Amino acid sequence: MEEKLLKSADLLQLIDSNFPFEDYRTNQRETIKEIFELFKNFRYVILEAPTGSGKSPIAVTIAKIFAQFSEKTHILTIQKLLQDQYERDFKDLFVMKGKGNYVCAVNKKPCTRGECRIKNDKKIREGHHCPYLVNGYKAEESKITVHNFDSFFYQRHLFFHQKRAFMVIDEAHNLEQKFMNFVSFTINNKDFVEVQIPEYEDIDKYDEFLNTYLGTLNLELIKIDEQKPLSSQQLVFRDMIESLIRKIAFYLLSKGSGTKFIFEYSKDREVQKIKFKPIYVWEFTYQIFEYADNLLLMSATILDDEAFTKNVGIKDSEYAFLEMPSLFPIESRPIYITDEVDLSWKKYGEEVKKVPKIIKRYLDMYSAEKGIIHTHTNRLVNYIRSCNISNRFLFKDDFRDINSLLAVHSAKENSVIVASGFHEGLDLKDDLSRFQVILKVPYPDLKDKQISARMKVDKGYYGLLTALKLVQCYGRSVRSDEDWCDSFIIDSNFRRFKGMYKSVLPSWFMEAIQYE
């Protein structure tokens, strides 16, 4: 950080003049000041702050202060929804999106299907301004640019070469998973070109197959490029092949330098698949972190700062950890532990039969209210659907996306969402959810080789992943200090889980627990 900034006579005055709202929420002003103090000694500040504590204004204030001293900031949001929220809530920020969000000046289609791509001719790019490129260069010029994580990862080589003074990564608990997705890849023997995928015991034996497959994909790309104009389907194919080529080449390079990967081979009749995944991602995170001098990583669910920083490759000496308490009254957000069912795999067959009756009881208790049932698995969603319990239910798979589901949920009286995987990206504020039922402790799948490889060296990893999902589920339904929702964890395995992993469950979660 710039010396001049740290020596600034009156930091509180700077904070007050750059804070984007009229009033502070509890602790916001002090937290901003503390973050500046911590940046004197640490490159990273990790901020754990529960939903509703106002993390985004904290980040924006710091970015604006940097801007006042002619220093630039990248703000990265893991989810596009959060990027939209920044755009809606704050001025003076420039929002840069992915290529598909800009309209081609020539054919009026998204730039991913722009005229230069369809005709496969770079010369078409000359003589006019491409909105995607124009926005990319504006983003580069802007003092504070908000990106979503995926498009930043792709665009960093296109537009944003320079390191900035400051970077914010919001929802940073997802960093490991994001990098895991960037580096992992799956080959299907029926995609793009037909291949025979060998079945080996040893990962090294796949190197030769992958090198040959890489050559085949490159030839396929050349064949596509020879055709013009390209259809939408060919463009999608081209992008997918290009991405797979990049990932395979990166895998071979990283593995050659000693990075550990696992593979999962599967065969279902004629379809063979093989997936390669790194065991850890800490070697890759520099690809984002190197774009700033100081980084603020924010989340409601860091849970265990030592495990988090180790997993993303931050050294102990490089970071400081700050926690903000929950501002929501406990009585507005109770978690009732009811021990009604045991859905562990050993007892699943017998116990699952209890689920319809239990759910009916909750539907009766909250007959006039909207709510959500978190199932954790699709198997449970399908079971509930097959039982025809209620016409109040909305199933995630029946909708194109979250927004269309939410539109129906908002309009429909006393509707109840039934879904697995809605622990993030869903804002069920106020009347959108007055009760939520967590059917099952969301343990990760032990059949996943990457998780079992990690567990051999780090026993706590399993508990950390479970706690992360559980706390995120809980956070869906109480979104402000005036909001309220009753949460129920009905899986009797929760007591054992809590006994083993209470150290990673945040205090604001633990203090809300009540036993029935």
Among 111, 324, 380, 512, binds ligand SF4 (CB under 6 A): 111
With CB under 6 A as the rule, give the number of residues binding ligand SF4. 12
Binding test (CB under 6 A) with ligand SF4, winner from 1, 11, 106, 387 = 106
Query: What are the residue ranges of helices labelled H in 8-126?
Result: 11-18, 28-39, 55-68, 80-89, 115-118
Q: DSSP letters of 308-334?
A: HHHHTT--GGGEEEEE----S-GGGS-
Near ligand SF4 by CB under 6 A, which window of 107-115, 158-166, 190-198, 483-491? 107-115
Q: CB-based contacts of 71: which residues, under 8 Å, 6+ apart? A: 2, 5, 143, 164, 165, 166
Nearest residue (CB) to ligand SF4, 132 versus 497? 132
Query: Are 148 and 98 contacting, i.e. CB atoms less than 8 angstroms apart?
Result: yes
Distance in angstroms (rounded) separating the CA atoms of residues 300 and 245: 36
For residue 402, state whether it binds ligand SF4 (rule: CB under 6 A). Answer: no
- Least Å distance, CB 151 to ligand SF4, is 16
Under rule CB under 6 A, residue 132 binds ligand SF4: yes
315: its two tokens: 């050294």
Residue type, 290: E
Counting contacts by CB under 6 A, is residue 104 touching ligand SF4?
yes
Map tokens 């029935």 to a residue.
516
Our CB check for ligand SF4 shows the closer of 115 and 171 to be 115
How many Cα neighbours within 13 Å face the side chain of 383? 20
Collect all residues with Cβ–Cβ distance below 8 Å to 161 and sequence separation of at least 6: none
For 114, the token pair is 């722009």
Q: Which residue has the tokens 């994580």?
A: 149
CB of 431 to ligand SF4, least distance (A): 43
Complex with ligand SF4: residue 111 or 187, whichever CB lies closer: 111
Site for ligand SF4 contains 130 (CB under 6 A)? yes
9-17, 99-107, 327-335, 508-516 -> range binding ligand SF4 (CB under 6 A): 99-107
Smallest distance, ligand SF4 to C-beta of residue 247, A: 25
Interacting residue with ligand SF4 among 1, 11, 81, 116 (CB under 6 A):
116
Residue among 60 and 104 whose Cβ is closer to ligand SF4: 104
DSSP strand E in 177-334: where?
A: 185-188, 261-268, 271-278, 292-299, 319-323
- By CB under 6 A, is residue 115 in contact with ligand SF4? yes
Residue nearest to ligand SF4 (CB): 114
230 is a site residue for ligand SF4 (CB under 6 A): no
- Residue number, 133 or 327, with CB nearest to ligand SF4: 133
Q: Per rule CB under 6 A, is residue 248 in the interface with ligand SF4?
A: no
**Binder among 98, 114, 136, 313 for ligand SF4 (CB under 6 A):** 114
Alpha carbon dihedral 14, 15, 21, 24, in 10-degree steps, equals -140
Largest CA distance in the chain: 71
Which positions lie near ligand SF4, rule CB under 6 A?
104-106, 111, 114-116, 124-125, 128, 130, 132
